[in-house]
Structure 1
Amino acid sequence: MRIRTPLLIAATIGIVPVTASAAGTPDRAPTEAERAAIVRVLQANGFVAWDDIELDDGRRWEVDDARLANGETYDLKLAPDTLRITRRSRDD
């Protein structure tokens, strides 16, 4: 326990670097190539329009207000590596 305490204190005050986590990664918009790939996935899943697309904390793509042809609206989360839709939340 004596060895860990100084290391923890040093890491806390910034003397010892700590590994950056995904939570520390700022949100960003997709590149043109990423956007084109995401649009293909959205269209293949029946979506005809959407609002913002962003990479949230470097962990997943988020698509706000994705609309189906029948007018239903969803907020979507996509896996960053496969672009598979991992979550659909109905946006009423």
Structure 2
Amino acid sequence: MTRNLGATTLRRTRRNSDPMRSYDALPAPLRNWVSQAALPWSPASVRRLWDRACANGLATEDALQFLSETEARSLAKDRHSFTSTTAQGN
């Protein structure tokens, strides 16, 4: 059963923590980005990327751009990516 993950070939991971509590602990700009993301990001993985971007001295907008670029790379790896599906008219 795929539930709300859709048709993706990307690896799925089960979580042991409470994802809603982890989501609520994210900074507001990051929560907003996750709510608009094309992929079902876990709060832990998106927090890790956010912390890496901030540790490299990126401002909030630049960190969000970094996350969008990371997501685009992940979508490009996916055989059933959203762009190829819409290009085929499905």
Report which structure shows greater RCO (CA 8 Å, sep ≥6).
Answer: 2
**Same fold flag (TM > 0.5):** no
Structure number with bigger Rg: 1
TM-score by length of 1: 0.30
Q: Which has the higher helix share?
A: 2
